[in-house]
Chains A and B, each alone.
Chain A
Amino acid sequence: MIKHDNSSRELIAFRIGEQEFCVDIMSVREIRGWAPATVLPKSPPYVRGVINLRGAILPIVDLAARLGFQPPEPTVRHVIMVAQVGTQVVGLLVDAVSDILSVTDDAIKPTPDVASDMAKTFVRGVLAIEGRMISLIALDNVLPTLEPIAA
């Protein structure tokens, strides 16, 4: 683990398939177990639908599908990270939450050139920690707000 200092920040790491990703812990509000979502018609494949989060309608984004991986068949072991994205609150479906990391900004390295276009849209940098490679994700674009409505 990396020592705390002034420029350190906390990240929450999670798994999608064999890969590890992380987001700033400040944007994560809570972590819940998977519950079946209500399907939204004519939505992009990575939008699983909506669930009831204490009276609010929460869209669920399948992060695996969003990042271009094979989407999983969700089970009770899957996890929803409830995250704040701008003014909206979004549920992110991931396989499991693995770690809370405290890192300094200089531990975050640029995304390697070999990454796919999809990865470049979301990945802000990579961390190498104890032999693991963890991609730092920005959540700004996870919702399909700027895309044309799927036909």
Chain B
Amino acid sequence: MDAMAAVKQTFFQECEEQLAELETGLLAMERGEAESDTVNAVFRAVHSIKGGAGAFSLEDLVQFAHVFETTLDHVRNGALEPTADVMGVMLRAADLLADLVAAARDGLSVDSGRSEVLVTELTALSPGGVGADTEEEDDLSDFSFTPVTVAFDFSDAPADAGRSYTITFKPRPELYAKGNETALVLRELERLGQMETSCDASALPQLAELDPEGAYLEWTIRLTTEKGEDAIREVFEFVEWDSSLTIQASDADADVDSGAGSTEDAFAALLRSIQGDETALPTATAEIIPLPLAEEREAVVEVEAQPAKASAARNGSGGANANANAAAPQTIRADLERVDRLIDLVGELVINQAMLSQRVMEAGHVPGSAVALGLDELEHLTREIQDCVMAIRAQAVKSVFQRIPRLVREVASMTGKQVRLITDGEGTEVDKTVIDRLNDPLTHMIRNAIDHGLEKPEVRIAAGKPAEGVVRLSAMHRSGRIVIEVADDGAGINRARVKAIAAEKGLIAADAALSDEEIDNLIFLPGFSTASEVSNISGRGVGMDVVKRSIQGLGGRLSITSRPGKGSTFTMSLPLTLAVLDGMVVTVADQTLVVPLTAIIETLQPKPADVHGLGGGARVIAIRDTFTPLIDVGRELGFRNTATDPLVAVAILVETEGGRRSALLVDTIQGQRQVVIKSLESNYRHVPGIAAATILGDGRVALIIDVDTVIANSQSDATILEPVLAAAG
């Protein structure tokens, strides 16, 4: 059933949201920052998951969610104190719940041992335990979803079969106040079998005294049915509390009271008996006596006060909107493909506008002319449209940060370290293209911070630090980029050891004189961490060099600062979008190329004395007493065979992986501009040394240089230089 499958998909989407809310709430409780509604929101999240899971017969999920919910309910009603231990169990329960949801979605199963352990722990927390008493068991059994086919026409049941019952039913006024109707109850009853009804209207007052919301009638029903008493009770389920009801089984063959008739007859008789004046009843109904009692009125006032309070809690600390109706900005859901198409089109618009400007200038219109001014305005508008369109795809990093607490708990428990995670700037927005690719490097950085950064509790205590280490994850916008920092308060980089390892692996000369910063950056060198050293937590076979490269692949940079005994901070800076890039447009062998601005440190004009040949075509350039490899871009990319004369060229100093520097030799620099990134792979394939393409103002394609690959390729010819260079530096 397609519609049901769609609902199921909605369910899993909603589960993701609920799980995120659950974790956020639990973490706030753990920090003691829970607001009044937090525990309710947490409870509701688990409750909703349970409800949906029940509908889809996801038994494992229902069972666990139920135990979890019950324990949370104890916290909610104050029976269980949310201590650190309790919250620890809750957080692990939330992790398991997430796994159970994922397993249910993917049709997999979760190790039942894990469930059992947590069920035991949760139950142990509950005052009096969970699931031990039979009422709870009954409650659980309610969730088994057994579709029942309900026969709609009970009236076809053999009339003379089964037993006879005599039912007396006297509604109280409350019954009507709750929207129930005697007529509907009797109609329902009639479906069960053969029925005869009589009405005692002796309590009915004169019309003038009739309270329209009063209840004056008593019904006696003789019902012959094979359905049994339970079915009869079910009919009265909603009304029995607001009526006097007796149900007595009698003999099936017993004579039916000759005075009784069908329900309609009874109503007709009733109507006749109370109405001399036929219009009196509707008129009376219009004069409604206020029903709610004083007690209910109070409740109403209290409820009205709630929305503002609740919404303030939901808005969190920054909740400026106390008004419930203004609580959340309105949003629409849009197909991502449409947004991407829009972004493409705006990219086209930018290019076309640039081409038009160029043509207009070529046609001899001077700046300041009416045409040029009009074009300026067009350019301004185009940029604004581009910014707006890009903003559509912007998302808060929260979606990525939300996964981190769980990671921290896992890594902490694996390494035996105590970790407190502090996050900051979750609301910082960045383009979806970046969001989608943040997770892996961030995961690695967090693992690294806990595994290599933080010390074990006993070591920390010995060093006079609290046993619990702190990892601080923060995001902020800084000069048009997003900066994400992972800081730990661990021991900092052990420089002597790092240097020793690097020397041992031949990455540097044993006697190389390196600054602290240079030593710290050695950890980003390919080959610094090897599989044998990398623990399975930090590594998964991946060294920091790979992390750095993947960040650079996004046009980002990764750097480290470290203070012995105080900890290390990894700073990752990324462009706000991967759809456009700030680049330096250069010319190499008549080709126009773009060098990403993020890689560039400075540009300089080589002087004859600065350039030195090293044989085999390799050259270095001395920049402030440091020898830097000089890479001839034209030759490296195969655009020309002969070496470029550095004296008529420009050197662009770039930073590459490991923080090392190289100088790219290009013919001329045309200028800087923002370019729209276009894929080469969609119609062709990856080209070594080229990151992507773009379209310039003249409509021609320019290639964007992949700085790292160009340099790595040039060094593969000359790796032996490395120790020499480091020693020279």
Touch between chains A and B, by CB atoms below 8 Å: yes
**CB-CB nearest in chain B for A145:** B685
* A52–B700 touching, CB < 8 Å: yes
Chain A CB within 10 Å, residue with most, of B680, B685, B699: B685
Is there a chain A Cβ closer than 8 Å to B687's Cβ? yes
* B689–A50 touching, CB < 8 Å: no
| Stretch of A11-19, A36-44, A104-112 on the interface side | A36-44
**Residues of A with C-beta under 8 A to B348:** 54-55
* B690–A55 touching, CB < 8 Å: no
Interface size on B, residues (CB 8 A): 27
Q: Which of A37, A42, A57 contacts B683 (CB 8 A)?
A: A57
* A38–B680 touching, CB < 8 Å: no
**Residues of A with C-beta under 8 A to B229:** none
Is there a chain B Cβ closer than 8 Å to A25's Cβ? no
* A40–B690 touching, CB < 8 Å: yes
* B683–A58 touching, CB < 8 Å: yes
Is there a chain A Cβ closer than 8 Å to B688's Cβ? yes
Q: CA of A38 to CA of B678 in the docked complex: distance in angstroms? A: 14
Type the 1/0 row for A28-59, where 1 means its CB is closer than 8 Å to any CB of B. Answer: 00000000111111110001011110111111
Is there a chain A Cβ closer than 8 Å to B682's Cβ? yes
Q: CA of A55 to CA of B347 in the docked complex: distance in angstroms? A: 8
* B683–A55 touching, CB < 8 Å: no
* B684–A149 touching, CB < 8 Å: no
* B682–A88 touching, CB < 8 Å: yes
* A42–B638 touching, CB < 8 Å: yes
Residues A38 and B690 in contact in the complex (CB < 8 Å), given A55-B344, A88-B682, A143-B684:
no
* B695–A90 touching, CB < 8 Å: no
Q: CA of A59 to CA of B367 in the docked complex: distance in angstroms? A: 37
Residues A57 and B701 in contact in the complex (CB < 8 Å), given A41-B637, A42-B638, A52-B695:
yes
Is there a chain A Cβ closer than 8 Å to B639's Cβ? yes
Type the 1/0 row for A49-81, where 1 means its CB is closer than 8 Å to any CB of B. Answer: 111101111110000000000000000000000
Residues A89 and B685 in contact in the complex (CB < 8 Å), given A38-B701, A52-B699, A56-B678:
no
Is there a chain A Cβ closer than 8 Å to B15's Cβ? no
Q: Which of B351, B591, B687 contacts A43 (CB 8 A)?
A: B687
**CB-CB nearest in chain B for A147:** B685
Q: CA of A57 to CA of B682 in the docked complex: distance in angstroms? A: 8
Q: CA of A89 to CA of B347 in the docked complex: distance in angstroms? A: 20
* A55–B678 touching, CB < 8 Å: yes
Residues A41 and B687 in contact in the complex (CB < 8 Å), given A50-B693, A55-B344:
yes
**Residues of A with C-beta under 8 A to B678:** 55-57
Is there a chain A Cβ closer than 8 Å to B679's Cβ? yes
**CB-CB nearest in chain A for B591:** A39
Residues A57 and B685 in contact in the complex (CB < 8 Å), given A39-B639, A41-B637:
no
A30 CB to nearest chain B CB (Å): 14
Q: B residues within 8 Å of A by Cβ?
A: 344, 347-348, 351, 591-592, 637-639, 678-680, 682-685, 687-690, 693, 695, 699-703
Other A-B pairs beyond A43-B687, A54-B348, 10, CB < 8 Å: A38-B592, A38-B701, A39-B639, A40-B690, A40-B703, A41-B687, A41-B689, A50-B701, A56-B678, A144-B685
